[in-house]
Amino acid sequence: GAVVSQHPSWVICKSGTSVKIECRSLDFQATTMFWYRQFPKQSLMLMATSNEGSKATYEQGVEKDKFLINHASLTLSTLTVTSAHPEDSSFYICSAVWGQGFKETQYFGPGTRLLVL
């Protein structure tokens, strides 16, 4: 159990286009999902917390107009990178949270590698 899918796994796009990444919890409902960005040989950087039915909470320094997050249902969150530029190229990872009351556990999607040319 506790499977999280992420689509697409690879994206190559031209500068100026928008890219949408989907994150789905396949066998459980997740009130909260997280979006991370990871650079090569570095740790995960939390970008935003996505809560079903409410606006996402962005970490300091993350442009909310650049990275649009929508948590449409208890099993789906999307991240849209708007007007992508080469500096947005990175590995984007989502996670879905199972449990509550300090017993939360994150389950991760396989990630999306974005290359902006």
Shortest distance, CB of residue 36 to other proteins, whole angstroms?
A: 8
Structure tokens at 25: 């919890």
Shortest distance, CB of residue 105 to other proteins, whole angstroms?
A: 5
Work out whether strand 112-116 and strand 10-13 pair parallel, antiparallel, or are unpaired.
parallel
107 binds other proteins (CB under 8 A): yes
Separation of alpha carbons 14 and 4, rounded Å? 28
CB 22 within 8 A of CB 33: no
Select from 11-19, 22-30, 63-71, 97-105 the region that touches other proteins (CB under 8 A).
97-105
Select from 17-25, 40-48, 62-70, 82-90 the region that touches other proteins (CB under 8 A).
40-48
Residue selected from 102, 114, 115, 117 as contacting other proteins according to rule CB under 8 A: 102
Cα 84 to its chain centre, rounded Å, is: 15
